[in-house]
């Protein structure tokens, strides 16, 4: 406890499902979820494997707190070698699927090989089998979930699936569960589809026990009180969602706009949290209709929206008139600011399609932003786009291209490559706003210096949820640092990265850390699990996980040279706002970062560091 | 004073902390399928509705039980199942118009909300006050107050 201590191993080539005991030595070192599954992956695959070959593996993993009464206990992750990046991929999702998997008695599912034809994995507690998914191939995640629930006559079943994009090789396909929660980044869904696996559905009725129930409930209740008394987690996030950031980040001049040509977007307020709550003139309703919690979450930041029925995107499509997942900040930024589009309803529609067809809105939006720049420069022609004018700021270009990418048709196939391959194809690799092949999200490193170092060194490629220094640099959590300076950022980035690895691995949501520190989390893990879990042991596990991921990437062929940022951020100064005149000072931070990490000057963990961490 | 669970679905976010708390209180583990309160999620309308036994005064489940396994506490009004007496015939599950008493194949008995002996765990753990435990006679008070606040008395004053 609170691991189930069981792994489900599914060999898709042979069609077998077998149970095996969890390696508890590894559990004590890597906690669960992100850390523990990465350990399994590294032990079992060749780091140089082609991510889309049957030799790559795909792991669905829960953490020790997943499914318990700890707040935000919904989380599970999908771990594999990512096809977009060739780096370690670990994408985290909420909803209800993860808790259901744990309640069925499994800490993780390891999927290996490749099925001869389309299949889906059906799990009912300890019974698991592969079933024919040919009726589902070529259909969306929304259809897949409905079909599976109807076929098994079980509305309580939880489903995680891939859409048409993944089947057709869009390199940033997600795994979507519960209709609009996604393991979004790095193309984990593309790997799933490459194995001919359309969906995993699960029904769990066994429940989840903890080591010391009384101590656990005390720790969980105390920690929930901390969330309830914190302004961000009790008011800001439930009211506005992560979209609370749109106007804030724009104000501080760190909103990457039009493929990061600018750092402020004049249309930011049109696509902000506040705009989602405004009554529309057209139909007298608001875009946002509710906030929704994931399993066990006492924050409830999730957005649920309805698109304006008179909007051109859906006026003749009643199938999109229902409520579904609304815009989170990263999606609103990518679909809006990165493309220069300020039409909130068009963005919401694009977000619906990203969920329906399971594509990562961050990479899609950033890739479209790059394509728009190439189009305006005359490098992409109307002939290639099928006549669609890809002008910067065109809502019609956004909504047409998201449909085409979701189905991997026409120019959508090219956009499905991601910005790195797209920009290389047109001879302008420097226009891809990516690190290690992964597009960076909604914070510009010229205006928030620490986040640039985090992007450059993040193991899955540029990513905010690997070391969210924005909390400190902009929001003052746990303490305020100056976003415009590089001093002290190396240590700050390391601290955020290590703590985040521990939080992810516990099976809870990173958003708790707007209010919680490991002081609030460790007692919950300790009461739930065997072993000794303190702030120190969790931080050490976090650092161990970070270095393990780094070692995988080095073995996969990455070097310190890949710890960099797009030239635009390093050479072209911010034109407006508080960061006007600044570029990213990555060169000032990176050597110190290697030093505080205990790595060599070219970014390789030293023998001492590996020894200290037991690697 | 009898107390009752007052449910305001408009405040519910679908987090299921009530289900986790209920199953933990009664089973000692976290298992939402064993919860006696359920949150129904209507995705297409984004409605989240907690639902459980209302402890009917003339309880159908109690009236039909052939072995008298369901009894009413005169002070609290709670209808509870005496597991030692219950024979698992399930007639109460047919009689209950609301579906809030259910059979557990594991134990061979029926289960229903017992208000946790006077301190319902669901109400205690609900983070948004969608579920509260209040004077049964005042269950509609908050709604009345809400509607009263919306009543426009100005036209009468003007005329």
A373 and A291 within one domain: yes
Chain A residues within an 8 Å CB radius of B15: 293-298, 300
Q: Two tokens at A119? A: 């299949």
pLDDT at res. A543 = 98
Q: Is residue A237, in this structure, part of any structural domain at all?
A: no
* B89-122 pLDDT, tens digit each: 999 999 999 999 999 999 999 999 999 999 999 9
* Domain annotation covers residue B76: yes
- Does A218 reside within a domain? no
**What gap in Å lies between CA A401 and CA A138, rounded to an integer?**
18
Residue that has been written with the tokens 């601290």 in this structure? A495
For residue A44, give Cα distances in angstroms to A12, A555, B62, B67.
16, 14, 58, 59
A2, A64, A207, A515: best to mutate for the B interface, most B CBs within 10 A: A207
For residue A104, the distance in angstroms to the closest alpha carbon of chain B comes to: 10
According to DSSP, the residues that pair with A59 across neighbouring strands are A79, A110
Task: Note whether A311 and A451 are same-domain residues.
Answer: no
Tell me which residues of chain A have a C-beta less than 8 Å from any C-beta of chain B.
67-69, 71, 99, 103, 156, 179, 205-210, 213, 217, 221, 224, 228, 238, 289-298, 300, 304, 322-324
Residue B126 lies in a domain: yes
| CATH code, domain carrying B83 | 3.30.70.20
- Give the pLDDT score at B156: 61
- Closest by Cα among B35, B96, B106, B36 to B64: B96
Contacts for A241 with CB less than 8 Å, ≥ 6 apart: A273, A291, A301, A302, A303, A326, A327, A328, A329
Flag if A322 and B44 touch (Cβ within 8 Å). Answer: yes
Q: Residue B157: is its pLDDT beyond 70?
A: no
Per-residue pLDDT tens over the stretch A453-467: 999 999 999 999 999
Whether the complex's predicted ipTM is more than 0.90 is answered with yes
Together in a domain, B97 and B123 = no
Is-contact A356 A161, C-beta < 8 A?
Answer: no
Structural domain span for residue A182: 6-203
Residue A26 token pair: 């590894």
Q: Taking Cα atoms as reference points, which of A132, A71, A70, A77 lies closest to residue A101?
A: A77
Find the CB nearest B34 among A68, A207, A213: A207
User: Is the Cβ pair A69, B125 closer than 8 Å?
Assistant: yes
Give residues with Cβ within 8 angstroms of A55, minimum separation 6: A45, A46, A49
Residue with tokens 């002939």: A383
Q: Do A217 and B24 touch (CB under 8 A)?
A: yes
Q: Does residue A180 share a domain with residue A328?
A: no
The answer to whether position A270 is within a domain reads yes
Q: Are residues B63 and B94 in the same domain?
A: yes
Across the interface, of A179, A210, A296, the residue whose CB is closest to B16 is A296
pLDDT in tens, B3-25: 999 999 999 999 999 999 999 99
Asked whether residue A64 is assigned to any structural domain, the reply reads yes
Number of domains in chain B: 2
Q: Are residues A416 and A326 in the same domain?
A: yes
Check CB contact under 8 Å for B43 and A238: no
- Which residues of A fall within a CB distance of 8 Å from B34? 207
| pLDDT mean across residues, chain B | 94
The pLDDT, as a whole number, for residue B72 is 97
pLDDT at B43 over 60: yes
Same-domain check for residues A362 and A444 = no
Chain pair A-B, CB pairs under 8 angstroms? 85
Mean pLDDT, chain A cut into blocks of 10 residues (615 residues total): 95 98 98 98 98 98 98 98 98 98 98 98 98 98 98 97 98 98 98 98 97 97 98 97 97 98 98 98 96 98 98 98 98 98 98 98 98 98 97 98 97 98 98 98 98 98 97 96 98 98 98 97 98 97 98 98 98 98 98 98 98 97
Average pLDDT of every residue of chain A: 98
Q: What is the pLDDT of residue B155?
A: 64
Residue A250 lies in a domain: no
Tell whether B157 is covered by a domain.
no
A451, A331: one domain: no
Contact indicator for A337, A310 with CB cutoff of 8 Å: no
Q: B59 and B44, same structural domain?
A: no
Total domains present in chain A: 3
Structural domain contains residue B3:
yes
Q: Output the domain CATH number for residue A415.
A: 1.10.569.10
Residues A168 and A284 in one domain: no
Domain shared by B1 and B43, yes or no:
yes
- The residue range of the domain holding B7 is 1-52+116-149
Q: Do A179 and B43 count as a contact with CB atoms less than 8 A apart?
A: yes
**How far is the CA of A430 from the CAs of A436, A499, A566, A569, B97, in angstroms?**
13, 32, 6, 10, 67
Q: What is the per-residue pLDDT for B158? A: 54
pLDDT value of position A603: 98
- Report if residue A392 sits inside a domain: yes
- Whether A211 maps to a domain, the answer reads no
């Amino acid at each position: 406890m609170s691991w189930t201590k069981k792994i489900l191993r599914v060999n898709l080539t042979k069609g077998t499902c077998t149970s095996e005991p969890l390696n508890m030595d590894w559990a004590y070192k890597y906690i669960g979820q992100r850390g523990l599954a990465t350990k399994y992956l590294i032990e079992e695959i060749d780091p140089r494997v082609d991510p889309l070959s049957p030799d790559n593996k795909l792991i669905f993993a829960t953490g020790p707190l997943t499914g318990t009464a700890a707040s935000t206990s919904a989380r599970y992750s999908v771990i594999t070698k990512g096809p977009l990046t060739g780096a370690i991929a670990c994408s985290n999702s909420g909803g209800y699927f993860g808790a259901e998997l744990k309640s069925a008695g499994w800490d993780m599912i390891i999927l290996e090989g490749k099925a001869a034809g389309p299949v889906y994995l059906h799990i009912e507690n300890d019974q698991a089998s592969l079933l024919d998914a040919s009726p589902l191939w070529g259909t969306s995640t929304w259809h897949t979930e409905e079909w599976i629930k109807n076929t098994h006559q079980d509305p309580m079943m939880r489903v995680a699936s891939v859409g048409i994009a993944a089947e057709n090789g869009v390199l940033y396909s997600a795994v979507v569960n519960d209709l609009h929660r996604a393991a979004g980044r790095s193309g984990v869904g593309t790997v799933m589809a490459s194995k001919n696996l359309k969906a995993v559905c699960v029904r769990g009725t066994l429940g989840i026990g903890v080591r010391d129930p009384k101590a656990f409930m005390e720790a969980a209740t105390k920690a929930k009180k901390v969330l309830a008394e914190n302004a961000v987690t009790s008011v800001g996030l439930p009211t506005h969602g992560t979209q609370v950031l749109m106007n804030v980040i724009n104000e501080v001049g760190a909103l990457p706009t039009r493929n990061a040509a600018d750092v402020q977007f004049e249309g930011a307020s049109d696509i902000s949290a506040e705009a989602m709550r405004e009554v529309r003139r057209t139909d007298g309703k608001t875009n946002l209709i509710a906030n929704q919690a994931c399993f066990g979450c006492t924050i409830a930041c999730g957005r649920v929206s309805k698109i304006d029925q008179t909007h051109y995107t859906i006026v003749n499509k009643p199938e999109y008139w229902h409520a579904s997942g609304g815009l989170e900040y990263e999606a609103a930024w990518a679909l809006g600011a990165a493309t220069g589009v300020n039409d909130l309803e068009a963005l919401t529609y694009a977000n619906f399609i990203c969920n329906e067809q399971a594509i990562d809105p961050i990479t899609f939006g950033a890739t479209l932003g790059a394509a728009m720049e190439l189009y305006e420069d005359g490098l992409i022609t109307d002939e290639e786009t099928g006549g669609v004018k890809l002008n910067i700021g065109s809502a019609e270009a956004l909504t047409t291209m998201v449909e085409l990418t979701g189905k991997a048709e026409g120019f959508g196939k090219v956009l499905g490559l991601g910005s790195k391959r797209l920009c290389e194809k047109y001879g302008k690799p420097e226009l891809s706003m990516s690190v290690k092949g992964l597009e960076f999200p909604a914070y510009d490193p010229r205006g928030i210096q620490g986040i640039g170092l985090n992007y450059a060194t993040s193991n899955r490629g540029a990513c905010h949820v690997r070391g969210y220094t924005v909390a400190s640099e902009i929001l003052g959590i746990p303490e305020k640092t100056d976003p415009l300076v590089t001093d002290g950022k190396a240590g700050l980035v390391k601290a955020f990265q290590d703590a985040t690895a521990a939080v992810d691995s516990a099976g809870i949501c990173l958003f708790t850390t707007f209010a919680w520190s490991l002081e609030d989390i460790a007692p919950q893990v300790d009461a739930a699990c065997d072993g000794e879990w303190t702030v120190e042991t969790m931080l050490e596990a976090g650092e161990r996980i970070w270095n393990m991921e780094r070692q995988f990437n080095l073995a996969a062929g990455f070097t310190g040279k890949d710890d960099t940022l797009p030239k635009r951020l390093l050479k072209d100064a911010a034109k407006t706002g508080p960061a006007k005149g600044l570029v990213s000072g990555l060169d000032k931070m990176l050597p110190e970062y290697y030093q505080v990490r205990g790595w060599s000057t070219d970014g390789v963990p030293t023998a001492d560091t590996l020894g200290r961490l037991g690697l | 004073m009898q107390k009752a669970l007052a449910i305001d679905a408009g405040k519910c976010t679908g987090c299921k902390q009530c289900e986790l708390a209920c199953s933990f209180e009664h089973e000692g583990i976290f298992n939402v399928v064993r919860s006696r309160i359920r949150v129904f999620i209507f995705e297409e309308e984004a409605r989240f509705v907690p639902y459980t036994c209302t402890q009917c005064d003339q309880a159908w489940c109690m009236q039909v039980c052939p072995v008298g396994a369901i009894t009413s506490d005169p002070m609290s009004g709670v209808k509870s199942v005496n597991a030692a007496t219950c024979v698992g015939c399930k007639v109460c599950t047919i009689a209950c118009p609301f579906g809030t008493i259910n059979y557990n194949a594991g134990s061979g008995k029926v289960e229903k909300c017992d208000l946790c002996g006077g301190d319902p765990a669901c109400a205690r753990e609900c983070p948004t006050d969608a579920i509260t435990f209040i004077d049964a006679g005042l269950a509609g008070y908050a709604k009345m107050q809400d509607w009263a606040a919306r009543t426009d008395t100005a036209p009468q004053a003007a005329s």
